[in-house]
Amino acid sequence: MREIVFDTETTGLDPAKGDRVVEVGCIELLNGIPTGKTFHHYIDPERDMPDEAFRVHGISSAMLVGKPVFAEIAQAFVDFTEGAKLVAHNAEFDFKFMNAELARLNYPILSSERMVDTLALARRRHPGAPASLDALCQRYGIDNSRRTKHGALLDAEILAEVYAELTGGKQTALVFGGASSRGWGGASGPRRERPDPLAPLASAEEIARHAAFVAEMGTKAIWYQYLAPLVESTEGKQAV
């Protein structure tokens, strides 16, 4: 499943009163794992930067001189996010601003059916607890020391880590011989076996010592759960 974690910075709180987007940052996830693909732009809002907004994100009007207006990056944003769920913290805010920008250019707006709101997820998972991005970083032990001010791409990167925790952790399941629910171990395609298994790197002495160590654990040692499918696979190939 493809998802886009994104964040925006703006000139204020209400696009209906003339506030505009000044930065957008997006992180692509595939089966919950960042692919390394990002989308990031500072944007000329075609208006001034209020002091209240500058104190939040530190983006000044001078910093935006020469940056593209939204019309110049709109199609690239649509292309990057096409077909994906859109993950944001307090997502209604970001959707409201992006839809205002898209509607101004007669682009189709982002459907609420694509929205994944991590603020709502956090409140359901931790009722009554603080649910800001900083509070969730503290809860999950995520380093947000770089976040001295708001920044769209940085916040999207941090939110991607928080989202992984909110949806079950970075590795939601460890199943021997299978794939996990977040795309680990071959969820992106069928697993192929080597026609000729690689020779073991352990020496005969190391193999014997390991066997003795496992034997001390008894017949319920978890190693046997891993070993059994390998033995069955080997025996099946020999029978053929």
CATH number of domain containing 129: 3.30.420.10
Same domain (yes/no): 141, 27: yes
Looking at the chain, the whole-number percentage of residues with pLDDT higher than 70 is 76
Mean pLDDT, range 163-175, rounded to an integer = 69
182 pLDDT higher than 70: no
Which residues are known catalytic residues?
Answer: 150
Mean pLDDT, range 132-141, rounded to an integer = 94
- The residue from 115, 144, 166 where one domain ends is 166
pLDDT given for residue 120 in this prediction: 97
Residue 226 counted as domain residue: yes
CA distance 65 to 155: 23
Same domain (yes/no): 143, 216: no
Same domain (yes/no): 21, 77: yes
Same domain (yes/no): 116, 232: no
The answer to whether 89 touches 118, Cβ cutoff 8 Å, is yes
pLDDT given for residue 64 in this prediction: 97
Taking the CA atoms of residue 156, residue 90, residue 111 and residue 74 in that order, the dihedral angle to the nearest 10 degrees is -40
Same domain (yes/no): 214, 140: no
Same domain (yes/no): 143, 45: yes
Environment class of 90 (CB within 10 Å of its CB; exposed 0-12, middle 13-18, buried 19+) = middle
Kind of pairing between the strands at 115-117 and 85-88: parallel
Residue 10 counted as domain residue: yes
Q: Considering its fold, how many domains does the chain have in total? A: 2
178 pLDDT higher than 80: no
Q: Per-residue pLDDT tens for 15-48?
A: 999 999 999 999 999 999 999 999 999 999 999 9
Same domain (yes/no): 84, 34: yes
Q: Per-residue pLDDT tens for 206-231?
A: 778 877 777 777 776 666 665 555 44
Give backbone dihedrals phi and psi of 34, rounded to 5 degrees, phi first: -60, 135
- The residue from 166, 188, 214 where one domain ends is 166
pLDDT given for residue 82 in this prediction: 97
Domain that holds residue 51: 2-166
Tell me the whole-structure pTM to 2 decimals: 0.70
Same domain (yes/no): 107, 51: yes
Residue 187 counted as domain residue: no
Same domain (yes/no): 157, 220: no
DSSP helix/strand/coil, 22: strand
Q: How far is CA 127 from CA 18, 89, 121, in A?
A: 35, 16, 10
Residue 150 counted as domain residue: yes
Q: How far is CA 240 from CA 193, 233, 236, in A?
A: 16, 11, 6
Mean pLDDT, range 53-61, rounded to an integer = 94
Same domain (yes/no): 124, 218: no
210: left (phi over 0), alpha (psi -120 to 50) or beta: alpha
pLDDT given for residue 205 in this prediction: 79
Give backbone dihedrals phi and psi of 110, rounded to 5 degrees, phi first: -75, 125
- The residue from 166, 194, 225 where one domain ends is 166
Q: How far is CA 9 from CA 17, 20, 65, 180, in A?
A: 16, 9, 16, 35
pLDDT given for residue 60 in this prediction: 95
Residue 14 counted as domain residue: yes
Mean pLDDT, range 111-136, rounded to an integer = 96
Within 8 A by CB and 6+ apart from 52, the residues are 12
181 pLDDT higher than 50: no
The answer to whether 162 touches 136, Cβ cutoff 8 Å, is yes
In the DSSP assignment, the letter for residue 39 is E
Same domain (yes/no): 113, 230: no
Residue 173 counted as domain residue: no
Residue 184 counted as domain residue: no
111 pLDDT higher than 50: yes
Residue 24 counted as domain residue: yes
187 pLDDT higher than 50: no
DSSP helix/strand/coil, 220: coil
pLDDT given for residue 180 in this prediction: 40
Same domain (yes/no): 121, 11: yes
